């Protein structure tokens, strides 16, 4: 687990290069938890069901926890890309920059940063989110 804490810190320190903004506070980096049933884990933490698809990971802002599936731990390049995405959500919640706030805008921004990471590391790009009316409820 210490390895993953170090990995998370390394990736967080890379965020300014990606976003052009300072990172808010490395001391407040999220904890993480391995959970193979993401929907259930989100519910256990927040008492809420999440809309949309949860496939590999989720960031819970109030709890400041990143949830990851164990399959992801066996694919380091993929894990890094997903952690970059979830760390962007952490940064969005904590940074006081002006700009889009919450919801779809944040998800689009996180995917854009994730994809620039993926491009740099020659990984398969993540497709953009379909428009809300085409997502399952
Ligand atoms: Zn996201």
- Give pLDDT tens digits for 54-93: 678 999 999 999 999 999 999 999 999 999 999 999 999 9
Checking if the pLDDT of 137 tops 80, the result is no
**How far is the centre of ligand 1, averaged over its atoms, from the C-alpha of 66 (Å)?**
11
Distance in angstroms (rounded) separating the CA atoms of residues 137 and 130: 13
Q: Is residue 65 within 8 Å of 32, Cβ to Cβ?
A: yes
Q: Identify the band that residue 117 occupies on the pLDDT scale cut at 50, 70 and 90.
A: very high
Domain boundaries, the chain: 2-134
Please say whether the structural domain 2-134 has been given the CATH code 1.20.120: no
pTM assigned to the model: 0.86
Distance in angstroms (rounded) separating the CA atoms of residues 7 and 129: 27
Query: 83-101, pLDDT tens digit by residue?
Result: 999 999 999 998 877 776 7
**How far is the centre of ligand 1, averaged over its atoms, from the C-alpha of 116 (Å)?**
15
Q: Using a CB cutoff of 5 Å, list residues around ligand 1, an ion.
A: 107, 110
């Amino acid at each position: 687990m210490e390895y993953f804490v170090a990995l998370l810190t390394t990736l967080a320190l890379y965020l300014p290069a990606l976003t052009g903004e300072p990172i808010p506070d490395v001391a407040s980096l999220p904890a993480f938890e391995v959970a193979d049933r993401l929907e259930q884990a989100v519910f256990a933490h927040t008492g809420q069901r999440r809309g949309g698809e949860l496939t590999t990971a989720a960031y819970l802002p109030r709890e400041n926890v990143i949830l990851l599936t164990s399959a992801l731990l066996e694919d380091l390049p993929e894990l890094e890309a997903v952690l970059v995405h979830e760390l962007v959500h952490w940064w969005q919640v904590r940074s006081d920059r002006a700009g889009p706030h919450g919801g779809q805008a944040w998800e689009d921004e996180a995917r854009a940063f994730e994809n620039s990471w993926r491009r740099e590391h020659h990984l398969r790009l993540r497709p953009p989110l379909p428009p809300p009316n085409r997502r399952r409820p």
